Amino acid sequence: MHAPSDYSCPFCRVASGGDLDPPYTSQAEVVLREPEVLAFVSSRQWPMNKGHVIVIPRSHHENLYELPVALGTPLLSATQRVAQALRLAYGCPGISTRQHNEPAGNQDVWHYHVHVFPRYVDDALYLSQGERVDPSERLRQASLLREHLRGAPAA
């Protein structure tokens, strides 16, 4: 376990229906809510990869090592649907997913999560730095993604 003993998990707050303090995630940025998983537009995005989404289990599990195998299917299904919606919403020719574990693996929120990025040729995702995105822009992105998720088949 890497979370401090007094850790207040921000993703658990979002999963339970709460908002984080601005400029972080609000319920209005949630794009997919299912019994076991949740997906929301990230408050941190990369310059050429707008629309970055985070997919989480609604129950708290610090990392991949703790994640119950039974959550694998709902998490993968949600990630796949989000990826399909990103492709439709942004016309991107590719998608990348990332999942980090432990400090050496670049994990910085102590709740299992998968990043889903729209990708473009020569977008320099791995060479650039993420930055906070204005909440009004995230609301626009969330609305667009929810529109495309309505038409995405559940796996």
What is the edge-to-edge ordering of all strands in the sheet holding 94-98? 30-33, 37-41, 53-57, 114-119, 94-98
Residue 151 has pLDDT above 90, yes or no: no
Sequence spans of domains, the chain: 10-150
Please compute Rg for the chain using Cα positions. 15
- Which positions ≥6 away from 136 have C-beta within 8 Å? none
Considering the segment(s) 10-150 as one domain, its CATH architecture is: 2-Layer Sandwich (3.30)
Residue 6 has pLDDT above 60, yes or no: yes
Query: Alpha-carbon distance 138 to 135, whole Å?
Result: 5
Cβ–Cβ under 8 Å, residues 25 and 10: yes
Query: Alpha-carbon distance 23 to 10, whole Å?
Result: 13
Neighbours of 93 (CB within 10 A): 11
Read off the tokens for 22.
């601005």
Query: Alpha-carbon distance 92 to 105, whole Å?
Result: 27
Higher pLDDT, 150 or 121: 121
Q: What is the pLDDT of residues 47-102, one digit of tens each?
A: 999 999 999 999 999 999 999 999 999 999 999 999 999 999 999 999 999 999 99
For residue 97, the SS3 value is strand
Query: Alpha-carbon distance 114 to 131, whole Å?
Result: 18
